[in-house]
């Protein structure tokens, strides 16, 4: 594989992107799954998605299938979705509800919601079988900002460094996101997008705003500075300011909903964006929070789930959030169409050595170096 040289002197306006095959090569994709997705913390569910004991989600983490389940003790746990007997997947539905156990549909090996093996045909005749050693293989779990994060690595990296650290890098401190009390917000809308593009194209797109004036007419009306091409992510702690006549972060700039109480004066009327590598984008505006979660499925296929979170009273009142949701739904659709337009060219011989980053995109090179360093 062709490597970029982070130490190479930058002489002109243009900095190279990754070569085209980094977006198409199955071997590189497999290495990314192994050394990036499976090695780090992955945001897999809204904690409220697991609302009652026995509620579960089946999620893909790199090449591994993982079951996330709420126990009878209300604790959320995650396990490899692999029966310890002969390997059948325990859960195949993306979400569901069990009463008190996970039972393999093949030979009925049965596990309680802590993962312990509690029953199997003829198990009482096998007293030597350790119920814990042969229980479900646990996956590390954390809950943060109202989301469940898992790590399938045997020795997970520091959550504080990898996840919280990404927020601090972008916003300058962790208090800035605490102001939004994301864990207290409620899901108002969720839209899933299956994007026919490599996951890195989606990350790169989110990190820059050079495209904003061209493809995001509604967004640049609300955030006029985006028309200059400099993304909020270009600066530390910077939030893009709403236009003077804009009342709220909505598709037509009309008023949004009740402001989140903790949002400070210098956060009001601003949009902040954070990339938590590899697959989470957090967008903060005064009255709601938008969270994108990406699941790379293939070199040219990525699932993106997008949540719109508002104050509980806004959701409970049945308030119309359509204009708020529509703004970023359009941004998403515009962005993903651009990524899908880009993907086919990644295998063109013209793009064999990659393309170019302009100065307002130069910070994306750091993302490229990060990807390459993880695979080195």
Partner 1 sequence: MIYACQLSDLPPGGSLRLTDLPGSPPVALFHTEDGELFAVDDTCTHADASLAEGFVEDCAVECPLHAAIFDLRTGEADGMIATHPVRTHTVVASEGQVYLQLSEAIPHLPAAARRAAAS
Q: Which is nearer to partner 1, 110 or 295 (CB)?
A: 110
- Size of interface with partner 1, in residues (CB under 8 A): 14
Q: Is the CB of 118 or the CB of 166 nearer to partner 1?
A: 118
Least distance CB 219 / partner 1 (angstroms)? 52
Distance of CA 340 to the CA centre of its chain: 19
Q: What are phi and psi of 210, to 5 degrees?
A: -60, -25
| Angle value at C-alpha 190, between 329 and 226, nearest 5 degrees | 30
For residue 54, the minimal CB distance to partner 1 (Å) is: 11
Give 109 or 328: the residue with its C-beta nearer to partner 1.
Answer: 109
In what helix (H) or strand (E) does residue 315 lie, and over which residues does it extend?
Answer: helix 312-316
Sheet holding 186-195, edge to edge: 186-195, 301-310, 288-298, 280-285, 270-276, 240-241
Start-to-end CA span in the chain (Å): 10
For the bound state, the minimum distance from the C-beta of residue 129 to partner 1, rounded and expressed in Å, comes to: 12
Asked if residue 58 lies in contact with residue 142, where contact means CB atoms within 8 angstroms, the answer is: no
Site string for partner 1, 207-246 (x = CB under 8 A): ----------------------------------------
Here the contacts of 372-375 (C-beta below 8 Å, separation 24 or greater) are 372/3, 372/4, 372/18, 374/32, 374/35, 374/36, 374/39, 375/1, 375/28, 375/31, 375/32, 375/35, 375/36
Nearer to partner 1, 116 or 277 (CB): 116
Q: Which stretch binds partner 1 (CB under 8 A): 31-39, 99-107, 145-153, 191-199?
A: 99-107
DSSP H or E segment with residue 16: strand 15-16
Contacts with partner 1, 68-97, as mask; x by CB under 8 A: ------------------------------
- For partner 1, the closer of residues 131 and 301 by Cβ is 131
Tokens 């916003």 found at:
171
Q: Please report, as residue ranges, which positions from 110 to 139 form the binding site for partner 1 (by CB under 8 A).
A: 110, 112, 118-125
Q: How far is the CB of 109 from partner 1 (least distance, A)?
A: 10
Give the residue with the Cβ less far from partner 1, 93 or 125: 125
- Quote the least distance from Cβ 114 to partner 1, whole Å: 12
* Least Cβ distance, residue 115 to partner 1 (angstroms): 13
Per CB under 8 A, which region of 100-108, 141-149, 168-176, 241-249 contacts partner 1? 100-108
Q: How far is the CB of 131 from partner 1 (least distance, A)?
A: 8
> Nearest 5 degrees, angle CA 274-CA 75-CA 190?
40
d(CA 347, CA 20): 6
* Cα 93–chain centre separation: 21
- Residue 185 has φ and ψ, to the nearest 5°, of -80, 165
Copy the structure tokens of residue 82: 């692999």
Q: What is the closest distance, in whole angstroms, from the C-beta atom of residue 130 to partner 1 in the complex?
A: 14
Nearer to partner 1, 83 or 309 (CB): 83
C-beta of 103: minimal distance to partner 1 in Å?
A: 8
Select 102 or 294, whichever has its Cβ closest to partner 1.
102
For partner 1, give the closer residue by CB, 22 or 109.
109
The answer to whether residue 99 forms part of the interface with partner 1 (CB under 8 A) is yes
Evaluate whether 69 touches 47 at the Cβ level (below 8 Å).
no
For partner 1, the binding residues (CB under 8 A) are: 99-101, 108, 110, 112, 118-125
């Amino acid at each position: 594989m062709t490597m970029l040289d982070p130490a190479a002197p930058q002489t002109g306006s243009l900095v190279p992107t990754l070569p085209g095959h980094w977006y198409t090569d199955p071997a590189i994709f497999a290495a990314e799954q192994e050394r990036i997705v499976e090695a780090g913390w992955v945001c897999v569910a809204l904690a409220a998605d697991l609302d009652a004991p026995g509620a579960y989600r089946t999620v893909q983490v790199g090449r591994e299938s993982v079951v996330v389940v709420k126990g009878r003790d209300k604790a959320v746990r995650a396990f490899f979705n692999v029966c310890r007997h002969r390997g059948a997947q325990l859960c195949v539905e993306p979400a569901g509800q069990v009463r008190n156990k996970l039972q393999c549909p093949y030979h009925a090996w049965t596990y309680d919601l802590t993962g312990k093996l509690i029953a199997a045909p003829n198990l009482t005749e096998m007293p030597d079988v350790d119920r814990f050693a042969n229980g479900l293989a646990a996956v590390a779990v954390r809950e943060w900002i109202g989301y469940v994060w898992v790590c399938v690595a045997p020795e997970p990296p520091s959550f504080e460094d990898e996840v919280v650290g990404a927020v601090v890098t972008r916003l300058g401190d962790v208090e800035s996101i605490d102001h939004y009390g994301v864990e207290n917000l409620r899901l108002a809308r969720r839209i899933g997008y299956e994007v026919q593009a490599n996951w890195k194209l989606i990350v790169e797109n989110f990190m820059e705003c050079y495209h904003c004036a061209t493809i995001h007419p509604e967004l640049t009306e609300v955030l006029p500075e985006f028309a200059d091409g400099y993304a909020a992510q270009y600066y530390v702690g910077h939030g893009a300011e709403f236009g003077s006549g804009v009342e709220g972060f909505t598709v037509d700039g009309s008023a949004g909903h009740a402001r989140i109480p903790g949002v400070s004066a210098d956060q009001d009327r601003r949009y902040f964006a954070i990339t938590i590598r590899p697959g989470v984008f957090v967008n903060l505006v005064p009255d709601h929070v938008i969270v994108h979660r990406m699941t790379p499925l293939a070199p040219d296929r990525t699932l993106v789930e997008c949540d719109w979170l508002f104050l509980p009273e806004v959701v409970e009142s049945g308030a119309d959030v359509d204009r708020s949701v529509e703004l970023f739904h359009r941004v998403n659709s515009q962005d993903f169409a651009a990524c899908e337009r880009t993907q086919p060219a990644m295998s063109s011989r013209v793009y064999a050595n990659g393309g170019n980053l302009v100065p307002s995109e130069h910070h994306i090179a750091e993302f490229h170096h990060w990807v390459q360093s993880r695979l080195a």
